Amino acid sequence: MITTVITFLIVFCILVIVHEYGHFLAAKKSGILVREFSVGMGPKIVDLKRRGTTFTLRILPIGGYVRMAGLDEEDEELKAGQPVVLTTNSAGVVTTINTSEKFRSAVGVPLIVTKFDLQDALFIEGYENGDEGAAKRFAVDHDATIIEKDGTEVRIAPRDVQFQSASVWRRLLTNFAGPFNNFILAIVVFALMGILQGAVPSNSNQVQVIDNGVAQKAGVRNNDRIVAVDGQKTQNWSAISKAVSSHPKQSITLKLQKNGKTRSVRVTPKVVNNGQKKVGMIGIQSSMTTNLGSRIMYGFTGTWQMTKALFSALAQMLHGFSLNDLGGPVAIYATTSKATQQGFNAVLYILGFLSLNLGIVNLLPIPALDGGKILLNLIEVVRRKPMKMETENMITLVGFGFLMLLMLLVTWNDIQRYFF
C-alpha cells in the first residue's frame, strides 16, 4: 500500500513537473513573468520563492499549473477599501503588499486602499494608519511582491511582462511547450526501458511463435520471416500485424522464408476483442534484438507505436463514447498499483504511456486545454488581431467548466469500477 502510494506520487510529480516546466521555460524565454509554478491543486502545503517565481506544493494530486502574469487571473488583486500592510525600501518605494489577514506582519505601513495601478503607473494610494484626512501615494517597485490571502507571495504583474504582451507566436510556442515536453519524456522513458530490458522488438518481418498458437499448429517456426500475407508484401512487423488483425476468422496465406527457402502455409486468425473492436490473432510476436542502437532507438519506435495506438483509440471513441474509455486520478492510481507489483519496467511503461497520453489529450482543440489555447492563437494569426479578452476568457471558462464536470463524472465512474 505504502509503496503504491509513493510510486503514484512520484509518477504524478514527474508528469506534472515535466509538463508545466515546458510552459515555464518557454514563458521565461518569451519575457513572460511566471508568478507561480504549482504541483498539485487546492490548499498550499509549502512554497519557495526563486528568481521571481513562487514554487508551491499543493495538497490535491489532480494536476498542476504555471500561473503567468495576465493570463486567466482576476482583474483586480486589490480593491478600494481593502486593508493592506506595505513594506518599503530605503527610498520609500513599496516592495511588498500584504493582503493576508492571517499572515500579516506587525512591521510595515498599514494602509486602507483608495486607488492603485499595478500594471502601468505602478502606485498604490490610501489612508495611512487609518488617518482619513489625506490619502498618501506610494510608488510601487516593478518587481514588488503581493502576499495573497492564503499567504502565497507572488510578483505583481506589470503590463510589460504579461502574457498578452508577448507576440502571438511566442504565446503559441508557450502553449505548445507543455505537451512537447510530455513527448520528450515518453521518448526518454521508452529508451530507458529498451536499455534496461536488454532487448526490444526489432520491427522486422522475422517472428517468434507462441506455443500451441494458431501459427505454430500451422507450421510456422521461430525465426521464420513472413514476407507476404495473401500476396501483400510485409517488410516489417507493423505490416504483418495490420494484415493479420484485419482478418479475424478469415483464412489467409502466409509466405514464409528461412535459410534461403520459401514455403507457404494457410492459417485462420482467431477472434480477439482488444477492448475497441474484434481483431485477428495467430499467436506470433516480433523477434527481439539486443543491438544497443536499436534499444536506444526504441525511445522513438516505442513512442511512435504507442502514439498510433492512442490515436486509434481516440478515433474509436468517436463511434461510441463511454466513460470507461477515460481515466482520472483514481484510474491512474489503480494502474500504478498493478505496475508496482510487476516491477520497475512496468512502472516505466506506465509513466511513458501516461506522459504520451497527457501530451496528446492536451493538444485536443478544447477550450482550457493547451490545444484550445493554440487554436485561439491560430485564429488570431488569421484575423491579424487578438480576440477580445472578454470573449477569450468566456470561451476558456466554458471549456474549464466542461472539463471539471467531465473530471467529476470520470472520477466517480473510476471509483465505481475499481472499488465497488
Integer angstrom CA distances of residue 136 from 116, 139, 251, 299: 11, 10, 89, 62
**Cβ–Cβ < 8 Å for 163, 68:** yes
Short-list 166, 185, 184, CA closest to 174: 166
What does the block give as the cell for 265? 502455409
Same domain, 280 and 327: no
Same domain, 277 and 296: no
Same domain, 222 and 301: no
Same domain, 147 and 218: no
Same domain, 268 and 332: no
Same domain, 377 and 279: no
Question: Active site residue: 20, 36, 148, 153, which one?
Answer: 20
Same domain, 327 and 406: yes
Q: Domain ends where: 156, 175, 191?
A: 156
Residue 70 belongs to a domain = no
Integer angstrom CA distances of residue 321 from 107, 318, 326: 59, 6, 9
pLDDT by residue for the chain (420 residues), tens digit each? 788 888 988 999 999 999 999 999 999 999 999 999 999 988 999 999 998 899 999 998 888 999 999 886 665 678 888 999 999 999 999 999 999 887 777 788 999 999 999 999 999 999 998 777 788 999 999 999 999 888 889 999 999 999 989 999 999 999 999 999 999 999 999 999 999 988 888 888 999 999 999 999 999 999 999 999 999 999 988 889 888 988 889 999 999 999 989 999 999 999 887 655 688 899 999 888 888 988 999 999 889 888 887 887 777 777 766 666 677 777 777 778 888 888 888 899 999 999 999 999 899 998 888 999 999 999 999 988 888 777 777 887 888 788 778 778 877 877 777 676
Cα dihedral: 76, 81, 87, 93 (round 10) = 70
Q: Domain ends where: 286, 314, 341?
A: 286
Tell me which residue range forms the domain holding 401. Answer: 292-419
pTM above 0.85, yes or no: no
Burial of 199 (0-12, 13-18, 19+ CB in 10 A): middle
Cα dihedral: 84, 89, 93, 95 (round 10) = -50
Residue 52 belongs to a domain = no
Residue 270 belongs to a domain = yes
What does the block give as the cell for 269? 486468425
Residue 313 belongs to a domain = yes
Is 20 assigned a catalytic role? yes
Q: Which residue has the cell 489625506?
A: 134
Tell me which amino acid residue 112 is: I
Same domain, 407 and 339: yes
Domain count, the chain: 3
Same domain, 415 and 307: yes
Same domain, 297 and 281: no
